[in-house]
A and B are shown apart, each in its own frame.
Chain A
């Protein structure tokens, strides 16, 4: 057995598995589909409506959607870290109510700040509950959402809390260079959160916590702390969004922002952030928010029956989730098979003689 009769390996060195690493167009479309859809709709609206591409309309659109965009920044961190926050709609309402109540009797600026801090505290409560008792965050925040909403109703007694102080309305109404302050806040928050996620080590921890919690923990990442902080941030964002909205209408209302939590999650998912955690980006959620906003805007501008709007929205969410499904569903497999058949000449070899 000195000599071996192995088939002569005439293959080149085996160090590299020798394979070009070109991304397939389909995979690219899946990853950047939101950009394509966003641009397509933007173009379509520009061509079909003379009002769409005016600074007036676009700035309105941004200002109207600044609160939901701000909440989406917080929500994206929560979802990437492997959680869900269903209480943001209630926090939004409660923060607005608290700010309005305090402003009626005290300094309006302090009242607004307290509104944000209240959101932060409520978020911290969410995060602590989820981490300390390791409960499913979907259920935990569903429950706290009811509680927060109930507290808001008790505080207001069910009535609208009006504020007649100019300073209170500044946050939602004031403009700088003809652009609403709320848009600057939204933009600043999106940029900061985006940089946080992609450029800081704490951003990496967020991805790690949602990607594989046990692996993250064994790498020394304090997973519970990371998750708690994402909920705290999400609460603060909801509080900020809530006071901006309250400021805009100069009043607080217990049922403000009802259902907003679902709109936030929809925007995040449409953007392409994985609901399973561990993957996603802020710019995706921003595009998601603005895509939904443009659909509504399009219905307005083109005077289409608004009853169809939710149908279109729901369909787009479904398409987003289908595009995101990374597993090979039966349809994907059938497509692959069909392609393969087409690619192969009909040279099916017979069985061996």
Chain B
């Protein structure tokens, strides 16, 4: 079905014995792999398994430390992404790489602006943008400043930018991580459309169901090595997980334990208001209860957590912690009162990427780790105990946080709040960009904390996570809590309908009429 000349081999890209080290640490080793022309090829593995690294090498974003990359059977030696783009290989990165202060239009055509007499041809640019929107099904205001867009929309701009470069091989690294189910479905549709037009796609993702639904071939990596490559049709999520972990994972979620003290209300928030983000939110969380917060991106979930933590100021509303009014006007006060926040963006809001793991863990509780003003080496043992508990490898504790895998970084974020066990834990997307093994560890940790009496507010875009862990689920929409369900009554369908604000049975895609 491919219209490629018959003389070319069927592989568009071949990597041979490719390896890559970062600061002496091997991220990838001896990987040999072929990408079929016109196929969608999935790369899966735990975080730190090397799948993003492999994707970046194929896209010329980073150079391999060893081995050879062949495109159309010819050895290539990409010096920077520009070389790869010239060959029609474009990447859409996991970390968004846009110019935040410029518009979507400018970002999409950055470096390839259509010109006329040496000046940017605005009319042609806009026409081309409209075409791209049409073919992708995305609708992003071309004049919107990218930094002001939601992460999901920024992701779309990235995809548009790749499309604008007439990519024949697109490397997509976790493209759906920040997207809602609807947006994800439309992105997968875009990928299928592109394949039909002969574009090859390398699809790096954590979402196995998504990978199996989309890809033709799937490659599993583990600890920087290739484990297996097989036709996606022959695979199941369970078998992929087994290959990724090297063992089987019986059960994703730990057993749900009863609420420790159902009569002790830890958090009582009443009528919280902040601009359009929070429009009168009231909720209670009891000791040992995990309250799941579902809702679309932008529904006010993150804003709720930030307001409870004092990171954003409220217009009005009261917050009580253990029955005492909390006048948390700053994160410092919240920390002192026993509130912990694991923010959604670990790179921007969570970690000091350039500092060591130990330093990051200690940062929020240096008082407890010091004698007077001086840091106490003796008390620093507490940090090691926490890292042991979370199974962060010992040889990774003195390296800069940026050298850790996503899963280990997320564990460090949690460890930071366990120096002193908090009364209330606010976890915003606690497993975003985290591999399955680390996910399981984080789920267990959240369950254990709740079992020890911590009240937990769990925000997640992964519905199964909310339904799998929480005792009670609230759904937010446009700054309000629209539904409050005990877990026994919560179903994916009910939660999604509430999140989208659709009355039961209006959209055929959600399962049709009951």
Which A residues have a C-beta under 8 Å from some C-beta of B? 1, 4, 6-7, 9, 11, 14-24, 27, 199-202, 204-205, 207-208, 211-212, 214-222, 278-279, 330, 333-334, 336-337, 340, 343-344, 348-352
Q: How far is the CA of A19 from the CA of B19 in the complex (A)?
A: 13
User: Which residue in chain A gives the minimum CB-CB distance to B345?
Assistant: A214
21 contacts between A and B (CB under 8 A): A6-B227, A16-B393, A19-B24, A200-B373, A201-B369, A202-B373, A204-B375, A207-B359, A211-B352, A214-B349, A218-B309, A220-B332, A279-B355, A336-B63, A336-B65, A337-B63, A340-B65, A349-B16, A351-B9, A351-B73, A351-B74
What residues of chain A lie closer than 8 Å to B9, measured between beta carbons? 351-352
Q: Is B127 interfacial (CB 8 A cutoff)?
A: no
**From residue 327 to 382 of chain B, which have CB atoms closer than 8 A to chain A?**
330-332, 334-336, 341, 343, 348-355, 359, 362-364, 366-367, 369-370, 373-375
Residue in contact with A9 in the complex, picked from B227, B350, B375, CB distance below 8 Å: B227
User: Is the beta-carbon distance between B24 and A278 smaller than 8 angstroms?
Assistant: no
Q: How far is the CA of A350 from the CA of B391 in the complex (A)?
A: 43
User: Is the beta-carbon distance between A218 and B77 smaller than 8 angstroms?
Assistant: no
Q: Is B25 interfacial (CB 8 A cutoff)?
A: yes
Most chain A beta-carbon contacts within 10 A, residue among B48, B351, B366 = B366
User: Is the beta-carbon distance between B239 and A219 smaller than 8 angstroms?
Assistant: no
In the assembled complex, the CB of B46 is this many whole angstroms from the nearest CB of chain A, namely 9
User: Is the beta-carbon distance between B65 and A349 smaller than 8 angstroms?
Assistant: no
Residue in contact with B374 in the complex, picked from A200, A218, A221, A334, CB distance below 8 Å: A200
Q: How far is the CA of A278 from the CA of B353 in the complex (A)?
A: 10
User: Is the beta-carbon distance between A208 and B363 smaller than 8 angstroms?
Assistant: yes
Q: Is B14 interfacial (CB 8 A cutoff)?
A: yes
User: Is the beta-carbon distance between B311 and A218 smaller than 8 angstroms?
Assistant: yes
* Contacts A17-B393, A215-B349, A340-B64 supplied; 17 other A-B pairs, CB < 8 Å: A1-B238, A4-B239, A15-B391, A200-B374, A201-B366, A201-B367, A201-B370, A204-B363, A207-B352, A208-B363, A219-B331, A219-B335, A219-B364, A220-B331, A330-B80, A333-B63, A349-B16
Q: Which 6 A-B residue pairs are closest in the complex by CB-CB distance? A: A351-B73, A201-B366, A220-B335, A211-B352, A219-B364, A200-B373
Known contacts: A20-B24, A201-B366, A204-B366. The answer to whether A218 contacts B349 by CB under 8 A is yes
User: Is the beta-carbon distance between B334 and A220 smaller than 8 angstroms?
Assistant: yes
Q: How far is the CA of A27 from the CA of B399 in the complex (A)?
A: 13
Known contacts: A9-B222, A14-B246, A221-B363. The answer to whether A214 contacts B348 by CB under 8 A is yes
In the assembled complex, the CB of A336 is this many whole angstroms from the nearest CB of chain B, namely 7
Most chain B beta-carbon contacts within 10 A, residue among A11, A200, A214, A218 = A218
Residue in contact with A212 in the complex, picked from B34, B351, B393, CB distance below 8 Å: B351
What residues of chain B lie closer than 8 Å to A27, measured between beta carbons? 23
User: Which residue in chain B gives the minimum CB-CB distance to A279?
Assistant: B354
User: Which residue in chain A gives the minimum CB-CB distance to B228?
Assistant: A7
In the assembled complex, the CB of B311 is this many whole angstroms from the nearest CB of chain A, namely 6
Q: How many residues of B contact A (CB 8 A)?
A: 69
Q: Is B236 interfacial (CB 8 A cutoff)?
A: yes
What residues of chain A lie closer than 8 Å to B363, measured between beta carbons? 204, 208, 216, 219, 221
What residues of chain A lie closer than 8 Å to B70, measured between beta carbons? 351
Q: Is B26 interfacial (CB 8 A cutoff)?
A: yes
Known contacts: A214-B349, A215-B352. The answer to whether A1 contacts B236 by CB under 8 A is yes
User: Is the beta-carbon distance between A6 and B239 smaller than 8 angstroms?
Assistant: yes
In the assembled complex, the CB of A351 is this many whole angstroms from the nearest CB of chain B, namely 3
User: Is the beta-carbon distance between B375 and A11 smaller than 8 angstroms?
Assistant: no
User: Which residue in chain A gives the minimum CB-CB distance to B222?
Assistant: A14
Residue in contact with B48 in the complex, picked from A17, A23, A214, A351, CB distance below 8 Å: A17
User: Is the beta-carbon distance between A333 and B24 smaller than 8 angstroms?
Assistant: no
User: Is the beta-carbon distance between A18 and B373 smaller than 8 angstroms?
Assistant: no
What residues of chain A lie closer than 8 Å to B393, measured between beta carbons? 15-17
Residue in contact with A201 in the complex, picked from B65, B73, B373, B416, CB distance below 8 Å: B373
Q: How far is the CA of A19 from the CA of B27 in the complex (A)?
A: 9
User: Is the beta-carbon distance between A7 and B68 smaller than 8 angstroms?
Assistant: no
In the assembled complex, the CB of B239 is this many whole angstroms from the nearest CB of chain A, namely 5
What residues of chain A lie closer than 8 Å to B366, measured between beta carbons? 201, 204-205
* Residue-wise interface mask of B (303-339) relative to A, using a CB-CB cutoff of 8 A (1 in contact, 0 not): 0000001010000000000000000001110111000
What residues of chain B lie closer than 8 Å to A218, measured between beta carbons? 309, 311, 331, 341, 343, 349-350
User: Is the beta-carbon distance between B242 and A6 smaller than 8 angstroms?
Assistant: yes
In the assembled complex, the CB of B438 is this many whole angstroms from the nearest CB of chain A, namely 12
Q: How far is the CA of A20 from the CA of B225 in the complex (A)?
A: 17
In the assembled complex, the CB of A329 is this many whole angstroms from the nearest CB of chain B, namely 11
Q: Is B224 interfacial (CB 8 A cutoff)?
A: yes
What residues of chain A lie closer than 8 Å to B257, measured between beta carbons? none
Q: Is B445 interfacial (CB 8 A cutoff)?
A: no
